[in-house]
Amino acid sequence: MGEELRLSIAADVDVVEARQQGRALAAVAGFSSGEQTVIAAAISEIARNILMYAKKGEITLSLVQNGDRQGVSIIATDQGPGIPDIDRAMQYGYSTSHGVGAGLPGAKRLMDEFDVDSVVGRGTTITMKKWRRAI
């Protein structure tokens, strides 16, 4: 499982690149085309948040294994302003940028595991994973 892809996110083309790379990796892991799209959509939201709120950051994509289950892991980190109230940010409809407020809660819904770690003034790390269903 050595494969790891680090992508820097600093412009809107990087968002497209990240989700396309994520889709390709999901295909390698054997996810269905429906699941590949779901993974790509989650990456798109998280990558855009980096761009929008932290200006720049990084996304690391990798294959993971748990017992006989294959999956993909996506880690998004930035050194931006951080999220003061994570619970609120996770609520559908909450947005500080007149957005839909669907990005974080939506991505959580799309993935199997979703974890936000954020310190105000230091930055934000979001870790998410999706596991393949048993064959």
Partner 1 sequence: MDNKKSMSVSTRASDATTLSESSAGLLRELVAHLRQNRTQLREEWARRITRAELLTAMTEEEIFAEATAVYDNYVEALETGTFEALQAYSRRLSERIIPRGVETDEVVGIVLLLRDVLARSLFTKYQDNVEKLNRILDSYEPAANRIANTVAVGFVEERERIIRQQQEAIRELSTPVLQVRERLLILPIIGVIDPQRARQLTEQLLRAIRANRAKVVVIDVTGVAAMDSGVANHLVQTVEASRLLGATVIVTGLSPEIAQTLVTIGVDLSEMATVGDLQGGIEEAERLLADRAAPTTQVREIAPESQR
Partner 2 sequence: MEVPILRQGQYLIASIQSALTDADLSHLREALIAQVGRSRCRGVIVDVTALDVMDSFAVRTLRDIAHMARLRGAETVIVGIQPDVAFAMVQLGLTLKGVATVLDLEEGLAFLNRRTEERFLETKPKRPSERG
Residues making contact with Mg ion (CB under 5 A): 49, 103
CA distance 49 to 104: 9
Q: CA angle, corner 128, sides to 49 and 71, nearest 5?
A: 135
Q: Which stretch binds partner 1 (CB under 8 A): 11-19, 96-104, 113-121, 127-135?
A: 127-135
Residue 28: CB minimum distance to Mg ion, A: 27
Paired with 75 in beta bridges are: 60, 127
58 binds ligand ATP (CB under 6 A): no
Which tokens hold the place of 62?
């990798």
- How many residues appear in the chain? 135
124 binds ligand ATP (CB under 6 A): yes
Q: Which of 104, 110, 111, 128 binds ligand ATP (CB under 6 A)?
A: 104
| Residues 8-47 as x/- pattern, contact with partner 1 by CB under 8 A | ------------------------x-x-------------
Which residues of the chain form beta strands (DSSP E)?
A: 4-9, 57-66, 69-78, 113-119, 123-131
Residue 12: CB minimum distance to partner 2, A: 4
Which residues inside 62-121 make contact with partner 2, applying CB under 8 A?
Answer: 92, 99-100, 102-103, 105-107, 109-110
CA distance 34 to 120: 36
49 binds ligand ATP (CB under 6 A): yes
Residues that bind partner 1 (CB under 8 A): 32, 34, 133-135
